[in-house]
């Protein structure tokens, strides 16, 4: 804690796994407490609940007060954020802090004396719905995430927390409990209405619950719970069939593909007889599985582990612009090249410093993506987690594309020297481009070599395999350069004809997921990105969507512009 007091915690943001906080200083403090001594962390959680009980949403408080009540240390002037902060923001941040600290170590139910309830058991105790419990949480009932005896980590409520909330929100609690206490006559009437509606219509349980709720004045969730409870108690006289069987991997994959094609979630919910929330969970599950199965390789570096790595590597957007490019247009392209190959020489080369910065940024982005991916829980996936990982991967691909475009002329210059065999110039360039992309993945910028040297040997080694006569020349040319040969040794077993189409498709899907459903549908179907469906014209898409051809064109232009912004290197921060 003394180290924490020695730092100014009102500037640096917390790690990528932290939840969204209202106050940045609270986010930083939560990160420090999560990394503190394990034996002190339970005390931080309990202290946060005590603060929740005394803070008033309408008042303002200094951060120094929050810091002292949580840690027991009184900071010196200037060591923490100054000024007054709204109590409402602190209440939200304290609950988030409790969850973050609980998730940072194993805090078990047995660590607390007295009764501990999870959400379903608390709902049964008060005879209310689980959604009512969630509403109580939003109104300020403190909760933790504890490890239950079955080994699973769930939201938990202490007896003392429940007692405090009911004492201070007696009116709300009484109304919720009273509202769910319906008479037997009311239950019989609800079941009668549900049977009649289910017998004459093909409505789902949620639709029937909403209709009966409008007629009876009860909440739709209460109606749904009453009907479902009746079905459980009367299995031979059910109103609605049991919950559908779990979907298999094939069906989940079809749902995910349909979602990427732009099929609206309500349509998918109707087709597969699922709730919208279930469809979203399936989509997130499939996204998480693809991320977990996707190989993410990077060249490690000690500077990636530094606390200020995010700020120093990703924070300075002007450093790469200032040093990355060196104009080399004076030399001009070699004669005899087609126009589209001559255009490669319009792309400026990279300076040594700019090249180092780009490779450092490229590997750090993949390091961050791999680190966040390692903390994914497939059973409890949050959309914010997936978007953060995908953002790092997309940004890494943007940096990689910048490096490759700046070195394509190197491939052309080497390929021209190998023309004359069975392969044409264009085949050699294509073969060399694959070697160049592989070299970007393997290059270690920290060793001090220029990438052009490393890439040249990688490309020439590849040509030595594809062009037999080059092997003899390369062996003679390599004399005296053993160190460079060692660097390129990992490329000996690489097969340039082996293209990872799965990784390419996953990269496309990650980008398409940033578009709206209509934009995704138009881009996918118009350009034929889905192999299972034929390419469609704008006119056909307009008829299917019920809009004009010109409107389809406008939406497509808007989507393409959005994709360009996502893939732009200058726009380092993706908007997702």
pLDDT at residue 574 greater than cutoff 70: no
Q: Return all residues near 334 (Cβ < 8 A) that are at least 6 apart.
A: 412, 413, 416
Q: How far apart are CA 290 and CA 546, in angstroms?
A: 34
pLDDT at residue 573 greater than cutoff 50: no
Residue 567 is predicted with a pLDDT of 61
Q: What is the pLDDT of residues 209-267, one digit of tens each?
A: 888 888 887 878 788 888 888 888 888 888 876 656 677 888 888 888 888 888 888 88
Q: What is the pLDDT of residues 377-427, one digit of tens each?
A: 887 888 888 889 989 999 999 999 899 888 888 888 888 887 776 677 788
232, 233, 228, 230: which is closest to 205 by C-alpha?
A: 228
Helices then strands (H, E): number in the chain? 28, 7
Q: Which fold has domain 111-178?
A: Arc Repressor Mutant, subunit A (1.10.10)
Count CB neighbours of 569 within 10 A: 16
Report helix, strand or coil for 556: helix
Q: What is the pLDDT of residues 97-117, one digit of tens each?
A: 999 999 999 999 999 988 999
Residue 467 is predicted with a pLDDT of 63
Q: How far apart are CA 270 and CA 279, in angstroms?
A: 10
Residue 179 is predicted with a pLDDT of 62
Residue 175 is predicted with a pLDDT of 73
Q: What is the pLDDT of residues 45-93, one digit of tens each?
A: 999 999 999 999 899 999 999 999 998 888 877 777 788 889 989 999 9
Q: Do domains 111-178 and 514-567 have the same CATH topology?
A: yes
Per DSSP, helices labelled H in 443-568 are 451-466, 469-477, 482-487, 501-512, 517-526, 538-545, 549-567
Report helix, strand or coil for 80: coil
Residue 166 in contact with residue 76, Cβ under 8 Å? no
**Cα-flanking dihedrals φ and ψ of residue 317, to 5°?**
-80, -15
Q: Which pTM was predicted?
A: 0.48
Q: How far apart are CA 231 and CA 225, in angstroms?
A: 10
Residue 506 is predicted with a pLDDT of 60
Domain boundaries, the chain: 2-105, 111-178, 182-237, 252-286, 302-479, 514-567
pLDDT at residue 162 greater than cutoff 90: yes
- Between 501-512 and 549-567, two packed helices, what is the crossing angle to 10 degrees? 110
Q: Is the alpha carbon torsion for 39, 44, 49, 53 positive or negative?
A: positive
pLDDT at residue 127 greater than cutoff 90: no
At 477, the pLDDT band (50, 70, 90 cuts) reads very low
Architecture of the CATH domain 514-567: Orthogonal Bundle (1.10)
Residue 149 is predicted with a pLDDT of 92
Greater model confidence, 234 or 147 = 147
Residue 142 in contact with residue 99, Cβ under 8 Å? no
- Between 538-545 and 549-567, two packed helices, what is the crossing angle to 10 degrees? 100
Q: Return all residues near 123 (Cβ < 8 A) that are at least 6 apart.
A: 129, 130, 132, 133
Encoding tokens for residue 251?
A: 């069906």
DSSP string for 185-199: HHHHHHHHHHHHHHH
CA distances from 489 to 57, 427, 486 (A): 64, 24, 5
Residue 73 is predicted with a pLDDT of 86
Element (H, E) at 179: helix 170-180
Greater model confidence, 333 or 434 = 434
Encoding tokens for residue 22?
A: 């209202």
Quote the distance between the C-alpha of residue 156 and its chain's center.
26
CA distances from 411 to 204, 296, 350, 435 (A): 61, 25, 15, 9
pLDDT at residue 368 greater than cutoff 50: yes
pLDDT at residue 11 greater than cutoff 50: no
Mean pLDDT of 549-562: 87
Residue 504 is predicted with a pLDDT of 55
CATH class for the domain made up of 302-479 = mainly alpha
Strand partners, 154: 146
Greater model confidence, 189 or 323 = 189
Pairing of strands 60-62, 84-86: antiparallel
Rg (CA), the chain: 30
Residue 94 in contact with residue 76, Cβ under 8 Å? no
Residue 146 in contact with residue 102, Cβ under 8 Å? yes
């Amino acid at each position: 804690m003394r180290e924490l007091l020695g730092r100014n915690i009102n500037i640096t943001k917390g790690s990528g796994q932290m939840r969204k906080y209202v106050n940045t200083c609270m986010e930083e403090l939560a990160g420090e407490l999560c990394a503190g001594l394990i034996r002190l962390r339970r005390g931080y959680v309990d202290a946060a609940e005590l603060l929740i009980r005394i803070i008033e949403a309408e008042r303002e408080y200094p951060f120094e007060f929050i810091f002292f009540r949580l840690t027991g240390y009184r900071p010196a002037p200037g060591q923490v954020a100054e000024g007054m902060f709204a109590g409402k923001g602190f209440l939200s941040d304290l609950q988030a802090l409790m969850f973050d600290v609980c998730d940072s170590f194993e805090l078990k139910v047995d660590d607390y004396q007295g009764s501990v309830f999870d959400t379903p058991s608390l709902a049964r105790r008060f005879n209310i719905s689980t959604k009512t419990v969630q509403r109580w949480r939003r109104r300020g009932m403190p909760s933790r995430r504890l490890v239950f005896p079955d080994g699973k980590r769930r939201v938990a409520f202490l007896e003392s927390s429940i007692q405090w909330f009911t004492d201070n929100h007696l009116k709300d609690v009484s109304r919720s409990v009273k509202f769910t206490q319906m008479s037997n006559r009311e239950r019989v009437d609800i079941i009668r209405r549900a049977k009649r509606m289910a017998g004459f219509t093909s409505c789902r349980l949620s639709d029937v619950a909403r209709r009966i709720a409008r007629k009876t004045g009860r909440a739709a969730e209460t109606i749904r719970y009453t009907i479902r409870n009746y079905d459980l108690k009367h299995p031979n006289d059910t109103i609605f069939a049991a919950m559908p069987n779990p979907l298999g991997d094939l069906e989940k994959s079809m749902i995910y593909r349909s979602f990427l094609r732009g099929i609206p979630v309500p349509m998918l919910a109707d087709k597969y007889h699922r709730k919208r929330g279930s469809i979203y969970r399936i989509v997130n599950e499939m996204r998480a599985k693809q991320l977990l199965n996707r190989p993410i390789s990077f060249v490690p570096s000690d500077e990636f582990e530094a606390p200020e790595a995010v700020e120093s590597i990703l924070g300075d957007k002007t450093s790469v612009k200032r040093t990355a490019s060196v104009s080399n247009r004076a030399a001009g392209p070699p004669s005899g090249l087609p126009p589209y190959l001559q255009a490669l020489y319009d792309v400026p080369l990279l300076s040594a410093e700019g090249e180092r910065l780009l490779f450092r940024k490229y590997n750090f982005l993949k390091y961050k993506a791999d680190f966040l991916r390692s903390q994914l829980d497939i059973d409890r996936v949050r959309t914010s987690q997936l978007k953060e990982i995908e953002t790092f991967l997309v940004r890494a691909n943007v940096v990689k594309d910048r490096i490759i475009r700046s070195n394509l002329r190197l491939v052309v210059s080497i390929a021209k020297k190998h023309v004359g065999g069975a392969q044409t110039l264009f085949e050699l360039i294509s073969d060399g481009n694959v070697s160049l992309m592989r070299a970007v993945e393997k290059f270690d910028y920290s060793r001090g070599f220029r990438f052009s040297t490393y890439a040249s040997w990688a490309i020439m080694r590849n040509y030595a395999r594809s062009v037999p006569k080059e092997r003899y020349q390369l062996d003679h040319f390599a004399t005296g350069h053993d160190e460079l040969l060692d660097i390129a040794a990992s490329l000996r077993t690489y097969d340039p004809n082996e293209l990872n189409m799965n990784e390419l498709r996953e990269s496309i899907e990650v980008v398409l997921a940033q578009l709206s459903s209509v934009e995704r549908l138009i881009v996918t179907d118009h350009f034929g990105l889905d192999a299972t469906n034929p390419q469609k014209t704008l006119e056909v898409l307009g008829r299917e969507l019920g809009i004009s051809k010109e409107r389809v064109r406008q939406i497509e232009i808007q989507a393409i512009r959005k994709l360009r912004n996502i893939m732009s290197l200058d726009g380092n921060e993706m908007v997702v």
